[in-house]
């Protein structure tokens, strides 16, 4: 197992390097530059700006400098757009925000999704099953850009219970709506995956044996059925977790949370190269790490899997 993890990390390093080079090339081949704002600066001003940020140097030099600073100093450079911030500052400010509501969304999505899926499976073809399936299909077909405005109209405008946006240092009132908006479509997917996988497991031979031994139903489900039924759910959860904690752009933008998703999108529009690279690398590393975590969990859940 240990050797496997080491091997996976060894593969991750070239993967990240390829990611960096590829993003770098794509970014620089897009027209425009980070210094075009509401007005385009005249050539002499542009020259000063490019010199200041090292954009006047040859590409190979820029990319080697960049990789060196990231690897040796963990320094992602200054933001080209936000003049008083470095990329490290932006990630340090935005990532905890996104991580907070992403984490709670994950918890909500898993708890609600798995319970709903299990409930639907063990009460297969009853009204509970139909209700759960209907509910999750409804939730799935409400994407967060529809969900978010609906939530704000209901809870902010009509009921006046919760603020319609902002973060305010992460007070709970500000977290509720983003969490609900983000968790909805995820829990719907989790519920559906759980239900179908659970149905399959419930018909498997070892469950029949367990039932035949006269074990109580609760025990059959908790002890024998749930763990194997979680395998397909788990492979979905890895990328889902990364997706949630690195920010739904829609949720960040709509609720003005100041989270990282917002910075990511804006950096693309602004050609803020360093911010774009920094967040791309962050998302890349998280994806690799969580895929590894999922694979390790696999081995723990399913004794048939050995690395």
Partner 1 sequence: MKLRTTLMASSAALLVLSGGMAYAESHATHPVTGEALAADQTFTYQDIDESPSIDPGMVEDVAGSDIVRDLFEGLMNQDADGNLIPGVATGYTVSDDKLTYTFTLRDNAKWSNGDPVTAGDFVYAWERAASPELASPYSWYLELMSIVNVSAVIAGEMTPDQLGVEAPDDHTFVVHLSQPLPYFAQMVTHSTTFPVPRATVEEWGSEWTRPEHIVGNGAYVLTEHVPQERMVRVRNPMYWNNDATIIDTVVRLVINDDAQALTRWQAGELDKVAVPSGQYPALKEQYPTEATSFPSLCSYYYTFNLRDDAPEWEKDVRVRQALSLAIDRDIIVQNVTAGGQIPAYTFTPGATAGFEVPSVETANMTQEERVAKAQALLAEAGYGPDNPISLEILYNTSEGHKNIAIAVSQMWKQNLGIDATINNMEWQTFLEARGSGQFDVARAGWCGDYNEASTFLDLMTSGSGYNDAAYSNAEVDELMAAAKTMDDPSANYTRVEEIVAAEAPIIPIYHYTSVFMMNDALKGWPVNNVQQNWYSRDLYKVAE
What is the 8-class DSSP label of residue 222?
Answer: I
* Residue 185 CB contacts under 8 Å (≥ 6 apart), including other chains: 139, 140, 142, 143, 144, 147
Closest among 238, 233, 236, 209 to 223, alpha carbons compared: 209
Contact assessment for residue 102 and residue 170, using Cβ atoms and an 8 Å cutoff: no
User: Minimum Å distance from CB 259 to partner 1?
Assistant: 8
Answer for the pair 118, 221: CB distance below 8 angstroms, yes or no: yes
Q: How far is the CB of 30 from partner 1 (least distance, A)?
A: 7
Token pair 């997917």 is found at 189
User: CA angle, corner 128, sides to 123 and 130, nearest 5?
Assistant: 105
Angle between helices 273-301 and 260-270 (to 10 degrees): 140
CB of 145 to partner 1, least distance (A): 10
Count the residues in the chain. Answer: 307
In the complex with partner 1, the residue whose CB is nearer, 94 or 284, is 94
Under rule CB under 8 A, which residues in 198-227 are in contact with partner 1? none
| For partner 1, the closer CB: 100 or 189 | 100
Q: According to CB under 8 A, which residues from 61 to 80 bind partner 1? A: 78
Write the interaction track for partner 1 spanning residues 31-60; mark x where CB under 8 A is met and - where it is not. Answer: xxx-xxxxxxxxxxx--xx-xx--------
> Between 3 and 159, whose beta carbon lies closer to partner 1?
159
Site pattern 253..282 for partner 1 (x: CB under 8 A): xx-xxx---xx--x--xxx-----------
Counting contacts by CB under 8 A, is residue 134 touching partner 1? no
Residues that bind partner 1 (CB under 8 A): 30-33, 35-45, 48-49, 51-52, 78, 81-85, 90, 93-94, 149, 152-153, 156-157, 160, 163-168, 253-254, 256-258, 262-263, 266, 269-271
């Amino acid at each position: 197992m240990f050797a496997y993890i080491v091997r996976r990390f060894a593969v991750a390093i070239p993967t990240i390097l390829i990611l960096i080079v590829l993003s770098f090339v794509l970014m620089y081949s897009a027209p425009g530059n980070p210094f075009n704002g509401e007005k385009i600066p005249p050539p002499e001003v542009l020259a000063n700006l490019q010199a200041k940020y090292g954009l006047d140097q040859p590409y190979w030099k820029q990319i080697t400098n960049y990789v060196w600073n990231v690897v040796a100093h963990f320094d992602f450079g200054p933001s080209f757009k936000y003049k008083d911030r470095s990329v490290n500052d932006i990630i340090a400010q935005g990532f905890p925000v996104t991580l907070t509501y992403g984490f709670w969304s994950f918890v909500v999505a898993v708890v609600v999704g798995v319970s709903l899926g299990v409930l639907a499976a063990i009460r297969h073809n009853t009204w509970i099953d139909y209700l759960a399936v209907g509910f999750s299909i409804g939730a799935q077909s409400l994407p967060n850009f529809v969900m978010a405005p609906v939530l704000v109209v209901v809870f902010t405008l009509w009921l006046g219970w919760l603020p319609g946006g902002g973060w305010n240092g992460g007070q709970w009132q500000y977290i509720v709506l983003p969490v609900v908006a983000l968790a909805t479509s995820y829990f719907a997917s989790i519920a559906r995956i759980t239900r179908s996988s659970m149905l399959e497991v419930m018909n498997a031979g070892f469950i029949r044996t367990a039932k035949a031994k006269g074990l109580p139903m609760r025990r059959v489900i908790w002890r024998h059925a749930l763990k194997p039924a979680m395998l397909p759910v788990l492979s979905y959860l890895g990328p889902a977790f990364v997706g949630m904690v690195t920010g739904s752009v829609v949720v960040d933008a709509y609720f003005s949370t100041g989270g990282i998703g917002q910075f990511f999108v804006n950096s693309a529009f602004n050609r803020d190269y360093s911010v774009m690279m920094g967040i791309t690398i962050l998302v890349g590393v998280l994806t690799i790490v969580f895929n590894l975590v999922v694979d390790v969990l696999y081995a723990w859940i399913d004794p048939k899997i050995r690395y």
